[in-house]
Structure 1
Amino acid sequence: MWELIYQYIQDTKKNNNEEGLLNAYKIASVYAEHPKNFKYADSALNIAKKSQNAKLLTIAYLNRGIIYMDESKHQKALDDILIANQYSIKIDDEYFNNKTKYYMAQNKIYLGLYEEANLELNSCMIFFKDNLNNSNYGKDYQQFYIYSMMSYIDTNTRIGKQIENTKLIKEIIYYLKKNKLDNYIPYFISSEGTDAYYSGNYHLAITKLSQALRLYNDYWPHFVEVFYLGMSNWKLGKKEVAVKYFEEIDKDYNETQKLDPQFRTAYELLIKYNDSIGNRDKQLDYINKLMKLDRSYEKNYKYLYTKINKEYDTKKLILEKNEIESSLKTQRTIISTILLLTILATLFFWNRYNSLQKKYKEKFEEIISIKHKKVNEVNKELASEIEDKKSSISFFKPENSFDLEFYNKIPGLNPLIVENILNKLEHFEKENKFLDNQVSKTLLSEILNTNPTYLSRIINVYKGKNVSIYINDLRLEYIIDLMKNDAKYLNMDVKELALLSGFTNTQNFSDNFQRKFEIKPSYFIKMMKENIKTSSL
């Protein structure tokens, strides 16, 4: 292994590959024993500082912080991880940002801040899981998905969320088996054991924890399993067995002078047990060790807690505050824009409504005025003219040149035929035959005993419209006269008025009414009612 590492270092130096050399020193720092591991970590950091590359600085500070954590140098570890976190924010790299967040969570676990760590780890786990298919060089999404899941499950256990863990453990074990990562499975069997312990199922806890220890195939001591096996046996009243497990933890402490704060209870129970059997020497030894541990932990706690609170959580809150303020500013801009558009739209539609009301009122007055003239004057004039024509018109040549000129407006069409059809149309109008909803161009030509082509041309020239509009206009004028002269028709609904005037359906009636009068029939009725009410005052 070291031959490859040395070769890697030499090759990257030769090629002046800063990032490659930093990575080579990073690998060396992971595999080297203390204190050489720090030497390689410092070399990697020096390269990053020389380059002033924020990404390399993130990697180097984080790497040294992790090594400090492994050596239980928690204060120095936190300093480096905080710096790495700030650089990761600068380069806007989600991978390194979540990786530093993961290690910040480990510091919070050390402090016993399980709920805070749980939130950080949940965020990390989701990020790494969502990016499992990414294969960027130097970024191990899979490994940190497993690590963050492991720690997230552990913090769930500590804050009483064991039920959630059942699903998570099933999910991760399935993933590990699918991807042939069986070496990680014992860690999650151990999590099942720890959950069982906190759920009060001590027999199951012993079974799972023992199974995990048998399945591990690595060089780690796995004192978490040892500790909880001791605790489970103690809860079952097997104190002698429990003490054997606790003594294994003490043995490691004697060799390394390192102890995870979560194992503190082991010393409390060793003191209690030796007091019960009268072994004062061991009892005193454990008391001294516990006091030393407490002093060390208290010192670390004050520094770490203040540092995390001041330089990480507070900055994170400020960042969140700025993001929220920015979001609120954007939101306010959007709301203001929407409000402005709403006001403009309201003004537009209000003006349009008022314009329509004004227009409708004008059209109404125009209709009343025209119909009044037609009913009281025009109809009388037309009736007189029709009677005169009836007494003088025959199907022979007209009596004067004026009549000839009047009926001779359609080239190729005999004026006598034109006169005949116009007379019949007057009779058709007078008899209100247009009220038959079956009347069409074809039926009307049959009624008038002419062909549809002649009829269309005559109506076009002398009425100024096509046959369909001509018939519909007669119907509309008829219903207008009824509504104007008899208020009972104003109390009918539009459907009744449509049928009464010869239309087959309401829509056709309304469309034609608005076409001809540029006003809705409902509005005309409303204005008629108001007009009658005003007139009666």
Structure 2
Amino acid sequence: MKKKIIFFFFFAISTFTFSQNFDFEGQYKYARSLASKNPDSSEIILNSIIDSAQKKKQPNYLAKAYYLKSFNSYLKSDAKATLDFAEKALKISSENNYGPGKALAYRMQGTQYAKLGLLKEASQSLNKGLDEIKNNDSDEGHELKGMIYNSFLILFNENEYQKKESYSKNAVREFQKIKNIPRRNELLVSAYTNLGYNLSEVKKFNEAQSYFVKALAFVGHDNHYLRANILHDIGFSFSQQNKPDSAVSYYQKALKIASQYGFSEKKIEITKNLETAYKQIGDLPNAQKYKLENLELKDNVSYSQKMAVDKTFSQKEENFNKQLSESYTTSKGLITACIILLLILGIIIFYIIHLRKKYKNTVTEIYEKGITPASYEADPQESAEDQTGISVPADIKISPEVEGSILLGLQVFEESFDFNNKNISRYNLSNTLNVNTKYLSAVIKKHKKFNFNQYINHLRINYIVDKLKNEPQYRKYKINHLAEITGYSSHSAFSLEFKKITGLHPSAFIKTLDEIA
């Protein structure tokens, strides 16, 4: 019993001593260095910092730890987690009036908003971040200002080179003011890389190369994220110089690092550029490979991005309602506006409920009974084509042997899913079946009850509906990908035909299908 008491006492003393001596600054710097090397390892240290900071009431380090978790989530393309952790960092920093923490949180908010296409919100967040540390002349202040200037670059398109150059040089100037040489050099890597990339966009390749050389000289061998960035941007520079072979070489090196350490955001950019580079070379199989990989990566992050955007607008709506509530007592006009708004909202909700019920009934019927075939419609294009085709008697008498041969050919055509070929036409199908177009149209009309275009569209839409019903992963694909699968030339052409045949837009059909299946 005495041994147990002594052991418990020793354990309590050890735990207390450990908590007293926890090196927050050292552990934070270690976690920060790991973020660019291996985000998963960084998370372990950050969880330890958060636990100790909560126990020891260290709000500044708690905020900074959540900022780093936000940054790690950004590297993995988890938009929702990025914004969630940034919001936590911002809340803690605001409650404790910690300016650098607010600047860090605003920086991550702005960067993620820009990636989601919310450019107005991104600009507002980044400017708020600058306001928090504009008068801070410490190493930390210069570091944060430089990082925020770098983040501003995402807001500009390739035609806004002067703005990009200005913000890039501002970042370099801020980083050069940092007295801590190792940290200064580490931060200058990203600034030099950005300058190299921007100069490559405007064909100033010699200047760009000088900045890439500087970046490579400063980057640590184990700083995997920055090294992947540099290799990618050098590849981009070669691509701009019409040297696709060299571009591919550097892109592949960057992709290897990004894949190994889970930098999903960077992988999306690299695979897109690899597709372009392989097209320049004329290597279409590899171009298609990386196109599909890029689509898959985008599909994997699209749900997270949707949740993040929904949350962003939800928060904006909540803030608006809060402001409306605060001004309620001083403005009767706003009360009237709210009542009208609620009435409109009620009408909209009623309409949405009615529409969803209608959608549900339609999708349920399709799910249970399949697509109801449309009635035959005369196709003026078929008549126009027939005028230049082989002459056939008006009543189109087809021998049983020929008719059977055409039907057998159509069966093979349907079973091999050749109707999803982009280049399919009545002319080339008749050539494949070795019959004239008029015979083909007559057999399709008699046995399928469609004109040729109706027949192809019905097969395609029926095919994709079957995939959506039986293979749930198809519901995660974007509409333009579904259009490509089924051989349509555009997103709009596919959507138009899908709605014409099923009665619903593809996105409404998929959403409703998820509810009933």
Higher RCO structure, 1 or 2 (CA under 8 Å, sep 6+): 2
Larger Rg: 1
| TM-score normalised to structure 1 length | 0.47
| TM-score normalised to structure 2 length | 0.49
